[in-house]
Chains A and B, each alone.
Chain A
């Protein structure tokens, strides 16, 4: 052992490093659910109701069963003992309809699963599905949440006379006083339309039952393999340790795969019944009909203020379109909106009333931002409406009401403690990047020429890192394991189940820095309940913000062990672990990580009180949420003849705490902004009055394509979070949250010369054109 000179290499955290996962994704060598092939695998096709509401008078499966190649047909009568599709959220007085995995005697939304045909190949399964004769008696349906609240509306669930699933009231401060003292009150109805998450990969399940072991393995395109395992075991009546869930490569989720779906249990049921592996791959049409939608708000806002622009209080009546059932978190999503109602502002008087409404539509649930985009859209629109009313600049009114850096930690009227913030910083940076005064001058000139140009400013705050366990239905911690092989190679296991966010890269950066090894020495594994002890999953911008600290602490634990083995090998009490080597501070002698690891497994000798092996696991419970923030500025031009909107500049300054990899953070912002622009300009799930989904395919549901995107100028400020040792906050949803109000504020600003105060999304050309004609959009 020669004396070692350690040269400090540059840290990987903070660098723009390309993603480790990209080569396999780009070259088509990744394994998604549909890539799984098994000996004897069968295929399932699901028969779905074309009616939004109907009684099932009878189902005739004879012809389907007789088709050569069909091995089984199951209906609701066969599966009715499988546990209900679970709802993890609870609210006082919540009505929870029993959610069978296959409809039993009635269907509740168009696309409701009614039967499943299992066959030796996909084509036969599909042929068989067409032969299942279902005798439906159509019933009146209701698709619009406000109509569903009217007296005499068809009851979505006949066991209850009305369609109200819950009423929820939350209040902080003294709103009545705030409104009594107000010098100005502005009111607006603001909607956040139903959106279809449209992950690139639709859902899919392969279930494989081993009769000998009585063990079921379910491969599912999910964001939450461990929670799915716990809940599926309950649904199927299977001991949890006989069930393994694998989330292979998952092609996007955006919250739509943060769920437990009927089909996941159904495939488990089928595999156990036929004793053969079975695969179901969702078609895009099924994905649109049967995978959760997002948003679906009709909000009535009232804001009280003083004439100088000081906001005093906010009232909200929130109508949440729940759809026909509660999926995993359905009723909880609007409560997140309420939590975030104060935005970045200091006022402390808030009152919110949510009414959750059943409709004959597919359930809504978490979609990128999950409740926070709706809230941010509302508050940021209201601040602009107030500014317009008071003839104040939208920047000035915001800065006047911001919580100031010295006020953190800041307790909000909704019961949150904002961790840290410097809200002026991203706004000032965005204003500078945009040359705000210059933009306003250009706008004045454009107006002189009769052109419609708008400048939209929006700031936002979000609540991330879900979250302290008491605030979540199933635990809010995360788990990490770090294992060093005898050769010194490192495997990180994370319970966060990344599916596109890039933690295989960022977690490798963290581990490589802590252990002093290279990126290639670290592999990050996830998404398999047999490989990772437990985990909560990736959603709510928690992957890095909760999974990252769990990893950090697991690494610290392991480093202690490394040092002990190093000390033993170096026969010294005074040892430092640095740059991948244990160094004796007296002799300067050192041993490498591989030598230490090797010694720990051979275990010829053990440090006092230590076990053999080199592995550490850590379950980290976050003390609080994190609260990222930012400012987006959007410049638009509106074509007065057609109502078409062109986004000519998009500036995003996001503060997500410490940045581990700027490349990935920019990617998250770009993707988020794309989805935000989708909501602001193009997307809307349209149901007709009978509950038929009219935007049932990509030919009619307009997600933004690459060519429809403006150049996103993505910049950052860094205000570390005190909540975790990495200082990270989360960025997965930021773009979606900051975007919609910035775009709408911009277009309203352009049209303000015509007296326009608010426009609901999506701002289609026809809607704008109608406003330009002096009509009501």
Chain B
């Protein structure tokens, strides 16, 4: 599934970029994330709890940041595995100055497998968008602090 979108952050580009590389901030913004543990340079392990409607599941996940080109772009890969299936997201994020803040745009791919893929069909797109929106909303909140 292809995904893409644009978000506006109320901070300068350098700051936006560094926030997006900061494991503490990422941990606060990734929905359900219980903290990031560095395993290698830009690789982290995490535990993620998905809770949506009555659906809930624990995922063992990984976050990886690559192709860093500060403050313009980088690639973010997030994956999680759990009893109810797995998900994998990989996207290129680009940052540009806009209206005194930073516009972050992303294009990527989301892959979902296992039970969640089969039952969530009708709702996958909506749900993926919502999770990404929550991520950026939270990021905007962090930026405001």
Contact = CB atoms under 8 A, between A and B. Distances in A.
Point out which of A130, A285, A289, A696 has the most chain B C-beta atoms below 10 A from its C-beta: A696
A695 B114 CA distance: 12
B66 interface: no
A51 B113 contact: yes
Contact of A50 (B114, B119, B122): B114
Interface string A689-722: 0101111110110000000000000000000000
A227 B128 CA distance: 48
B88 to A, nearest CB: 9
Interface string A279-300: 0000001001100000000000
25 contacts: A50-B85, A50-B86, A50-B113, A50-B114, A50-B115, A285-B115, A285-B118, A288-B118, A688-B1, A688-B111, A688-B117, A692-B111, A692-B112, A692-B118, A693-B117, A694-B117, A695-B121, A696-B118, A696-B119, A696-B121, A699-B119, A699-B122, A700-B119, A700-B121, A700-B122
A696 B117 contact: yes
A110 interface: yes
Contacts of B114: 50
B83 A694 contact: no
Nearest to A686: B121
A130 B84 CA distance: 9
B40 to A, nearest CB: 18
B123 to A, nearest CB: 10
Contacts of B86: 50-51
Given A50-B85, A50-B86, A130-B83, A690 B111 contact: yes
Given A52-B113, A697-B119, A700-B122, 4 more contacts: A688-B117, A693-B118, A694-B121, A696-B117
Task: Indicate the size class of the contact surface on chain A.
Answer: 10 to 19
Nearest to B85: A50
Interface string A658-700: 0000000000000000000000000000001010111111011
Nearest to B119: A697
Interface centre among B83, B86, B117 (most CB of A within 10 A): B117
Interface of A: 50-52, 110, 130, 285, 288-289, 688, 690, 692-697, 699-700
B31 to A, nearest CB: 21
B122 A692 contact: no
Interface in B108-137: 111-115, 117-119, 121-122
A688 B118 CA distance: 11
Contacts of B118: 285, 288-289, 692-697, 700
B53 to A, nearest CB: 14
Interface residues of B, number: 14
Contacts, number: 45
B74 to A, nearest CB: 24
B111 to A, nearest CB: 6
A688 B121 CA distance: 11
A696 B115 CA distance: 8
Interface string B100-111: 000000000001
A693 B86 CA distance: 14
B101 to A, nearest CB: 36
Closest 8 CB pairs of A and B: A696-B118, A50-B114, A700-B121, A692-B117, A50-B113, A692-B113, A694-B121, A130-B83
Contacts of A700: 118-119, 121-122
Contacts of B117: 688, 692-694, 696
Q: Which of B83, B114, B115, B121 has the most CB of A within 10 A?
A: B121
Contact of A110 (B1, B113, B119, B121): B113
Contact of B113 (A285, A690, A699): A690
A695 B118 CA distance: 6
A692 B112 CA distance: 8
A697 B118 CA distance: 6
A110 B111 CA distance: 14
A688 B88 CA distance: 14
A700 to B, nearest CB: 4
B83 to A, nearest CB: 5
A411 to B, nearest CB: 48
Contacts of A695: 118, 121
Nearest to A48: B114
A688 B119 CA distance: 14
Contacts of B111: 688, 690, 692
A360 to B, nearest CB: 12
Contacts of B85: 50
A686 B98 CA distance: 41
A402 B93 CA distance: 63
Nearest to B121: A700
Contacts of A285: 115, 118
A289 B112 CA distance: 15
A700 B83 CA distance: 21
A699 B123 CA distance: 11
Contacts of A690: 111, 113
Nearest to B118: A696
